[in-house]
Amino acid sequence: RKEVEQDPGPFNVPEGATVAFNCTYSNSASQSFFWYRQDCRKEPKLLMSVYSSGNEDGRFTAQLNRASQYISLLIRDSKLSDSATYLCVVNLYGGTSYGKLTFGQGTILTVHP
């Protein structure tokens, strides 16, 4: 089983749609969680951190469910500029893999007019 798993998509949605991505992780010692965005042929950039209480940044909402070991990202009112690959990231702080930062395979989102 992969340490971090995402649905690779692709997701094709019209402008204004709401879209949700999920990500599961296998190691319960995982401590920090993030969503990154990657544009074509560029480096990943932080979209938002994910906190246990859930957090929101404008049109983006991230949630963490430690009991079920998954995190989610919700994008409301999609824009053309939201088209990118969204990467789920887990930072492991425990055991022999202390500080291991693991990425999911990414979910491709295309927003069309």
Partner 1 sequence: DGGITQSPKYLFRKEGQNVTLSCEQNLNHDAMYWYRQDPGQGLRLIYYSQIVNDFQKGDIAEGYSVSREKKESFPLTVTSAQKNPTAFYLCASSIDSAEAFFGQGTRLTVV
- Work out whether 66 is an interface residue with partner 1 (CB under 8 A): no
Select from 12, 18, 28, 31 the one that contacts partner 1 (CB under 8 A): 31
| Residue 51 DSSP SS3 | coil
CA neighbor of 19 nearest in space, from 29, 32, 31, 10: 10
The correct pick among 27, 32, 55, 110 for binding partner 1 (CB under 8 A) is 32
Q: Which residues contact 40 (CB under 8 A, 6 or more apart)?
A: 84
Tokens of 57: 């940044």
State yes or no: residue 110 binds partner 1 (CB under 8 A). Answer: no
Choice from 62, 73, 84, 89 touching partner 1 (CB under 8 A): 89
Task: Give 17 or 110: the residue with its C-beta nearer to partner 1.
Answer: 110
